[in-house]
Amino acid sequence: MARVPRETFLPDNVRAHAAEDRPLPIGHGVTNSQPFTVRTMLELLDVRPGDSVLDVGAGSGWTTAILAELVGPGGTVLGTERVAPLARTAAERVAFLGYRNADVIPALEGTLGAPEAGPFHRILVSAEARTLPQVLVDQLDDGGVLVLPVAGEMLRVRRAGGEITTTAHGRFAFVPLIEG
């Protein structure tokens, strides 16, 4: 996280607050997540060099860039964002910083995630679902991990063969996930 400056991904009016451990508004009713929360989610995700990662609710692109650092040049990161202007700005920032292994695209209407680009080794969701979205579980590769908040609880979901294991890791608040 130290290699990816948060302030680069924030609007001018909140950049002075980049070092604060709190969510910051980035427009359109969306926030750039609190650094403590991002770190917790990334630890649960356990990204490895060479992984393919899906970043759902990429927002400003900050987590997409951090994930690009973690997967290294042999991995890939695809961020999706429902708010088209945020997706464009995030893609520009990720490219500006030179991440050739990462991109942010507008989420397709009626589609959660990027099923056509999967399966993924890791999926990070930075918006709160009401229930565990099976469509995202279905986009996990064997041995894959999905981290997301569901009904206020941070979940880690692991696919191993035909088995799905879910563990809970504390209470967190997020903007709602648009699931369709």
The helix or strand, by DSSP H or E, that contains position 174, with its residue range, turns out to be none
Every domain of the chain and the residues it spans: 34-171
b vs e for 106-115, b when ≥16 Cβ sit within 10 Å of the residue's Cβ?
bbeeeebbbe
Q: Which are the catalytic amino acids?
A: 33
Residue 55 · residue 77 · CB < 8 Å: yes
| pTM for the whole structure | 0.95
Q: Quote the pLDDT of residue 173.
A: 84
> Which whole number is the average pLDDT over 134-159?
97
Specify the pLDDT at position 176: 83
Rounded to the nearest integer, the mean pLDDT of the chain is: 95
Q: Assign 162 a pLDDT band (cuts: 50, 70, 90).
A: confident
Q: Can you name the CATH fold of 34-171?
A: Rossmann fold (3.40.50)
Whether the Cβ atoms of residue 124 and residue 54 lie closer than 8 Å to each other: yes
Using alpha carbons, select from 99, 110, 102, 103 the residue that is nearest to residue 135: 110
